[in-house]
Chains A and B, each alone.
Chain A
Amino acid sequence: MTAFPAPATRARGPEAAQALAAELSKLVSLPATWLTLGGTLVVNLILAMAFTIAGLHGSTGTKSATDIGLASISYAQAGFVILGVLAACSEYTGGQIRTTLIAMPRRALQLTAKHLTLAIVVLPAAAITAASGVALAAGVLGDTATPVTSGHVAAALSGVTAYLALTTLISASVGALVRQTLAAVVIVLGYFFIAGPLLRDHTPAAKYLPDSAGFAMWFPVADNASAVTPAQGALLLMAWTTGLIVVVMLLYRRRDT
């Protein structure tokens, strides 16, 4: 761009806060947000119940209420994937993206606000979903459960919460990239449920991919010197998420909408 008269830019502070307020307002006024979060919570509880019953039959190989209560998360994460994709792709319904970019023309700021908002909404929802599953398992198993320290429970729960939040952000980035709900859902779920697990079985390097690295944050991995530790997993998944958001940002800034 050549020399335009110095644009009087609004102070970053209020503009960023307003973008955040607008994005938050968008997310909470979308019925799909609440339906997805509520549906995920219910489905997770049902699956957690199923795992717990299987645990009572002794077919889970563990008696830890934390492990059994969190086992369902690997399925319930589909709900968080959907939420992320919907948050991103809902912009493309009814031409809303034009309203968004006319109201908030600084695209990098708007997209950052959108991801930040999503994290703000998802973190408590993920914590509640994960904790309710563990509470259910602990309640049903009662004294038959293997005792675990509260430190272990807290570590597992915070790992799951962070994992689900990052997964949601990855899904939102893919949604923003693809701009079509169904295609984005197919890509992300296909990766997390089909391609990821199969790669994990066949290629050692797959442990650094987002899904395996993320699992390491909360899923008990066999003791193995080369295994990814929870902290490393968290760093890897954060790096993947940030990298993806940066790529999306670069494309989003230049793209005709």
Chain B
Amino acid sequence: MNVITIDDLVKRRGSKEILAGISFQARPGRVTGFLGPNGAGKSSTLRILLGLDRATSGTALIDSVPFVQLRDPLATVGAMLDGSGAHRARTGRAHLRWVARSAGLHRARVDEVLEIVGLTNAASKRVGSYSLGMGRRLGLATALLGDPEILILDEPVNGLDPDGIRWIRTFLRERAASGRTVLLSSHLMGELAETVDDVVVINEGRVVADGTLDEVVGAHRTLEDAFFALTTSGAP
């Protein structure tokens, strides 16, 4: 249960091929890192997985069901893409409230997630006045609302201060330890090496490495070295 399965995903925009057949899995109880340079197709993959974009061909399934057919999306998958995902004129709390209502969640849950991400004091301020890091925390709070079995996070450490980065690392490890699935994308190797169990590296729309952290690092000194070796030559 709670497996993310991406199978031969292809996405073309006009004549440009953004994804050229991506396949991998993210399993429960593990943190899977989805790595690649900017423009490699990480966000496109996650957007298709979340039903925001349509694939040209291939499937992206959550427990063998496309995201848009999930019975209770918020309680199954929590997702954070770039930015806060909130309108600047609303307060952080008002944003979380409407999302909570869409899943019939109790409003007490809003205060809980605000507490978890440390935004309680800023909850009544407008999102437009938030710093980059606060916006990210709000995005994370939104992802956590339904206490989901699966977390999908796009560049979660972007914009976080060192405290925030350490906090999110611990937090994600705990989620995985409790048997849940975590899939996160990043182009920051250093942060990732200490958080992930499995690694999928993509470059120019193709998977160039897929395995446990040790397997992917292989003979290289660090994940970063492995990453550059994999992505700069263009082929594994």
- A and B touching (C-beta < 8 Å)? yes
List the interface of chain A (C-beta within 8 A of B): 1, 4-5, 7-10, 14, 18-19, 21-23, 25-26, 29-32, 90, 93-96, 98-99, 101-107, 254, 256-257
Question: Residue among B65, B70, B79, B102 with the most chain A CB within 10 A?
Answer: B102
Q: If the complex has contacts A7-B65, A18-B103, A105-B73, are A94 and B52 also in contact, measured as CB distance less than 8 A?
A: no
Q: By the criterion CB–CB under 8 Å, are B102 and A104 in contact?
A: yes
Indicate if B165 sits at the interface (CB-CB under 8 A): no
Please pick, from B65, B85, B86, B127, the residue contacting A5 in the complex, using a CB distance under 8 A: B65
State how many angstroms separate the Cβ of A16 from the closest Cβ of chain B. Answer: 11
The residue of chain B having its C-beta at the shortest distance from the C-beta of A95 within the complex is B83
Q: Is A94's CB under 8 angstroms from B102's CB?
A: no
* Shortest distance between the CB of B18 and any CB in chain A (Å): 11
Q: Are A105 and B99 in contact (CB under 8 A)?
A: no
Interchain nearest-CB distance for B174 vs A (Å)? 23
Nearest Cβ on chain B to A7's Cβ, whole angstroms: 4
**Contact A94 B98, beta carbon cutoff 8 Å:** no
Beta-carbon contacts of B129-163 to A below 8 Å, as 1s and 0s? 00000000000001000000000000000000000
Query: Can you show 8 pairs from A to B with CB atoms below 8 A apart?
Result: A9-B71, A22-B102, A25-B98, A26-B98, A93-B89, A94-B85, A96-B85, A98-B52
Q: Which residue of B lies closest to A255 (CB)?
A: B54
**A256–B48 CA distance with the chains assembled, in angstroms:** 9
Residue of B nearest to A101 (CB): B52
- B42: shortest Cβ distance to chain A, in Å? 15
**Residue from A25, A30, A94, A101 in contact with B97 in the complex, judged by beta carbons closer than 8 Å:** A25
Beyond A7-B65, A22-B99, A256-B53, whether A30 also contacts B89 by CB under 8 A is: yes
Asked whether A94 and B71 contact (CB < 8 A) given A25-B97, A25-B101, the answer is no
CA distance A32 to B51 in the complex (A): 29
Q: Kindly state the separation between the CA atoms of A30 and B128 in the bound complex, as whole angstroms.
A: 13
The 7 A-B pairs at the shortest CB distance, nearest first, are namely A22-B102, A7-B69, A29-B94, A25-B98, A99-B85, A105-B68, A256-B53
B189 within 8 A of partner (CB): no
A4 to B68, CA, bound (A): 12
Q: Is B64 engaged at the interface, CB distance under 8 Å to the other chain? A: yes
Partner of A99, one of B72, B89, B99: B99
Of A21, A23, A90, A105, the residue contacting B67 (CB under 8 A) is A105
Q: Indicate the member of B61, B65, B81, B87 with the most A CB atoms within 10 Å.
A: B87
- Which of B70, B71, B101 has the most CB atoms of chain A within a 10 A radius of its CB? B101
Question: What's the minimum C-beta distance from B36 to chain A, rounded to whole angstroms?
Answer: 20
**With A19-B102, A25-B101 in contact, do A8 and B71 touch (Cβ < 8 Å)?**
yes
Interface size class of B (residues with CB under 8 A): 35 or more
Is B74 interfacial (CB 8 A cutoff)? yes
Q: How far is the CA of A107 from the CA of B73 in the complex (A)?
A: 13
Most buried by B among A22, A106, A254: A22
Query: B82 at interface (Cβ–Cβ under 8 A)?
Result: yes
- The answer on a CB contact under 8 Å between A94 and B70 is no
Q: Is the CB of B99 within 8 A of A4?
A: no
Residues in chain A near residue B106, CB distance under 8 A: none
Q: Are B73 and A94 in contact (CB under 8 A)?
A: no
Q: Select one of B68, B86, B87, B88 contacting A106, CB under 8 A.
A: B68
Once bound together, how far apart are the Cα atoms of A112 and B185, in whole Å? Answer: 33
B51, B79, B90: which has the most chain A beta carbons within 10 Å? B90
Given contacts A90-B87, A257-B52, A10 and B98 within 8 Å (CB-CB):
no
Cβ-based interface call for B14 (8 A): no
Contact yes or no, B66 A103, CB < 8 A: no
Contacts of B99 in A (CB 8 A): 22, 99, 103
Determine if B83 and A94 form an interchain contact, defined as CB atoms under 8 angstroms apart.
Answer: yes
A4 touches B70 (CB 8 A): no
B84 proximal to A (CB < 8 A): yes
How close is B139's CB to chain A, nearest CB, in angstroms? 8
Whether A29 lies near B53 (C-beta < 8 A) is: no
Which B2-55 residues sit within 8 Å CB-CB of chain A?
47, 50-54
Contacts of A23 in B (CB 8 A): 98
CB A251 to nearest CB in B, in angstroms, measures 13
Q: Which residues of B contact A257 (CB under 8 A)?
A: 52-53
Q: Is the CB of B102 within 8 A of A103?
A: yes
